[in-house]
Amino acid sequence: MGWTQTARFEKAHKPKPAPAVRRRDDRWARLALAGISLLVFLGLWELVIRLGNYPAFILPSPSQVLTRAMTLIQDGTLWRHTRATLMEVLVGLALGLIVASVLGYVLAKSRLAERLLSPYIVASQAIPVVALAPLLVIWFGPGMTTKILVAALIVFFPVLINVMVGVRSVEPDLRDLMRSLEATRWQTFIKLEVPAALPVLLGGVKIGATLSVIGAVVGEFLGTSEGLGYLINEGRGLYDTPKMFVGLFGLVTLALILYSTASWLERRALRWREAGSA
C-alpha cells in the first residue's frame, strides 16, 4: 500500500517538461508524420504505375522524376527557373501587400472612399486573372513586369479585405480611451490599430503567399523564357512529363516554403503583440 501511495505521489509531482521542450517535441513529431506521409504517397504512386503499366509520358515513376530533377539541377536549369519564379513571387507579393494594406486602411477609415471605390474593386475581382493576363502582356510585354503584376493582382483582394476587417475590429471603447489620453493619430495607428489588424493581416499574408505563386505561373504560361511555369510548358510541348512533374514539385515546394515563412512571422508577430499588450 505504501509503495502504491509513493508511486502516485511521484506521478502527481513529476516535473512537467518545459514549454520549449514540448514545442521541440511537437515539431519533431510533425516532421516525422510529414516524412511518413510522403513515403506512403510515393509508395502508392509507384504501386499505381506498376499495376497500370503506364508509360513515362503518361505518368512517370518517382524514380524517373528524381532522375530528371537531378539532370536539371546539375546543368543549372532548375535553379535558373526557380530563381526567376521566386523573384516574381516575392516582388508581386510585396507590391500586392503594400497597395492592399494602404488602400484597405483608407477604405476602413473612410466610408465615402469605400462607397466610391468598392464597385471598381469588386468589378476588378469579377474578371478572372487568367482573362486579364493577356491584356497585361499586350500593355507591358511578356517580361517580368507582367508576371509581377499578375501575382500582385491575385494577392491584392484577400489582403485588402483582411486589412479592412482588422482595422474595423477595434472596439469603440479603446478608441475613446486613446482620445481621452490625447493620443495623436500616429500613436493611435501604432499602438491600437496595427496590433488590432495584425492577426487578420497576417492571415491574409499566408493566403497571399500561396496565391502569388499561382499568379506568377499564370504570367509565365503566357509567354516567357524563364520560370517554373515555362519549364512545365516546355515539358508539355516536348511530351517530357517527368520535366513537368519536376516543375510542379518545384512550385509546391516554393509555396510550402513561403507559407511556412509567413506562419513563422505570424507566430513571432503575435507573440510580440501579446508581450506588448501585457
Q: How far apart are CA 79 and CA 69, in angstroms?
A: 11
What is the structure's pLDDT at 219?
84
Please name the residue that has the C-alpha cell 471603447. Answer: 173
CB 70 within 8 A of CB 76: no
pLDDT digits (tens, 9 = 90+) for 166-181: 888 777 777 777 788 7
Residue 144 sits in which domain range?
65-277
Q: Report, as an integer, the average pLDDT of 134-163.
A: 87
Q: Report, as an integer, the average pLDDT of 30-51.
A: 82
CATH classification at residue 247 = 1.10.3720.10
In this predicted structure, the answer to whether residue 246 has a pLDDT above a threshold of 50 is yes
CB 219 within 8 A of CB 147: yes
Q: Considering the chain, what is the average pLDDT of its residues? A: 81
* pTM assigned to the model: 0.78
Is 116 inside any structural domain?
yes
Q: How far apart are CA 174 and CA 161, in angstroms?
A: 22
Is 55 inside any structural domain?
no
Q: How far apart are CA 169 and CA 180, in angstroms?
A: 20
Is 5 inside any structural domain?
no
- Residue 33 φ then ψ, to 5°: -65, -40
In this predicted structure, the answer to whether residue 5 has a pLDDT above a threshold of 70 is no
Domain count, the chain: 1
What is the structure's pLDDT at 45?
84
Q: How far apart are CA 245 and CA 232, in angstroms?
A: 8
Kind and range of the H or E element at 21?
helix 19-52
- When pLDDT is cut at 50, 70 and 90, the band that residue 203 belongs to is confident
- Closest-CA residue to 85 (of 238, 225, 245): 225
CA 229 to chain centre: 17
Q: Report, as an integer, the average pLDDT of 17-21.
A: 54
Is 72 inside any structural domain?
yes
